[in-house]
């Protein structure tokens, strides 16, 4: 008998684990093993095994005193990632549209998701016959281009080291930085000046400016970037792009709840 693709990749244990999570509601925030077993019409040993695994990975919390289960902190962490991504794109939308109109360049909005740079918005320069291949939903190495570097620069040193172990530096253009110490100095410079300048370090002939976006907890949650063909701008234009990009990132940060004044760039 031939099985279709959905049946081939079907996993009963995973389905049951997800069903357990879906039993919890605002009215049922904690449940006993018996209640879970009854709700799902599954044997208690099966539910216990699944709940123990979910609790091990913090998807469930088990109260040893009451013997009841509740949703775990891992779900909150994952939910926060989703919330930040969607709310950031919504809040940033009008700002990056205005930035694109001012500069007539391609604008990117990105976050770090699952150790990768994820573009969550992009506005193309329709007047330019040359388009950038990265689209909304495109994933890159975390430090890719100006947007990735503008985010990674603000991570703890131990996290940066971990990412470099996972994604070793590689040459993608003639000016790519592949020496680790030079790259770390590059990140320190970004953090010190408040913006990232990718001078053809990712793609030959393409440069970009990006500035970090903060949330209400003063945490960098993303970056807005401006990409352009290197030969199309001069030093004066680059200074203007830096100023407008930083200003846009600040306005987005303010709308995200960040109240502290951001560190001024050296261009100001």
Q: Distance of alpha carbon 76 from its chain centroid, rounded?
A: 16
Residues 6+ apart with CB under 8 A from 123: 96, 97, 100, 106, 107
As a whole number of angstroms, the distance between CA 64 and CA 36 comes to: 16
- Average the pLDDT over 173-177 and give the result: 96
From the CB of residue 259, how many other CB atoms can be counted at a distance below 10 Å? 9
Residues 6+ apart with CB under 8 A from 197: 146, 207, 208, 209, 238, 242
| Listed residue (193, 208, 212) closest to 88, CA to CA | 212
Q: Domains along the chain?
A: 5-71 (1.10.10.10), 78-255 (3.30.450.40)
CB 163 within 8 A of CB 140: no
CB 187 within 8 A of CB 197: no
User: Residue 178: which H helix or E strand, with range?
Assistant: none
| Listed residue (164, 163, 194) closest to 179, CA to CA | 164
As a whole number of angstroms, the distance between CA 117 and CA 137 comes to: 10
65-102 pLDDT tens trace: 999 999 999 998 888 777 777 789 999 999 999 999 99
pLDDT given at position 238? 96
Record the pTM: 0.70
Q: How far apart are the first and last CA of the chain?
A: 71
- Average the pLDDT over 166-185 and give the result: 96
| Listed residue (153, 139, 134) closest to 211, CA to CA | 153
Distances (CA, A) of 104 to 9, 16, 30, 148, 215: 46, 51, 54, 22, 27
β 196-203/68-71 pair status:
unpaired
Burial 110-128 (b: 16+ CB within 10 A, else e): bbbbeebbbbbbbbebeee
127 pLDDT band, cuts 50/70/90, is confident
268 pLDDT band, cuts 50/70/90, is very low
36-73 pLDDT tens trace: 999 999 999 999 999 999 999 999 999 999 999 999 99
């Amino acid at each position: 008998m031939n099985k279709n693709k959905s049946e081939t990749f079907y996993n009963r244990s995973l389905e049951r684990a997800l069903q357990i999570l879906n039993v919890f509601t605002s009215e049922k925030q904690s449940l006993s093993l018996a209640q879970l077993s009854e709700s799902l019409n599954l044997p208690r040993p099966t539910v216990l095994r699944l709940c123990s695994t979910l609790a091990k990975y913090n998807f469930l919390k088990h109260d040893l005193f009451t013997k009841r289960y509740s949703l775990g902190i891992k779900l909150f962490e994952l939910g926060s990632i989703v919330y930040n991504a969607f709310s950031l794109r919504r809040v940033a939308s009008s700002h990056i549209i205005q930035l694109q109109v001012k500069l007539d360049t391609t604008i990117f909005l990105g976050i770090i998701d699952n150790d990768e740079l994820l573009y969550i918005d992009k506005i193309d320069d329709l007047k330019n016959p040359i388009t950038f291949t990265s689209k909304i939903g495109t994933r890159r190495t975390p430090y890719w281009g100006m947007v990735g570097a503008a985010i990674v620069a603000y991570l703890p040193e131990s996290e940066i080291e971990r990412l470099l172990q996972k994604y070793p530096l590689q040459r993608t253009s003639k000016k790519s930085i592949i020496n680790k110490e030079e790259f770390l100095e590059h990140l320190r410079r970004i953090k010190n000046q408040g913006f990232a300048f990718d001078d053809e370090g990712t793609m030959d002939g393409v440069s970009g400016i990006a500035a970090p976006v903060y949330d209400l907890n003063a945490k960098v949650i993303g970056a807005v970037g401006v990409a352009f063909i290197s030969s199309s701008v001069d030093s004066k234009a680059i200074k203007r792009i830096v100023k407008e990009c930083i200003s846009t990132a600040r306005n987005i940060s303010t709308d995200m709840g960040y109240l502290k004044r951001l560190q001024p760039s050296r261009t100001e």
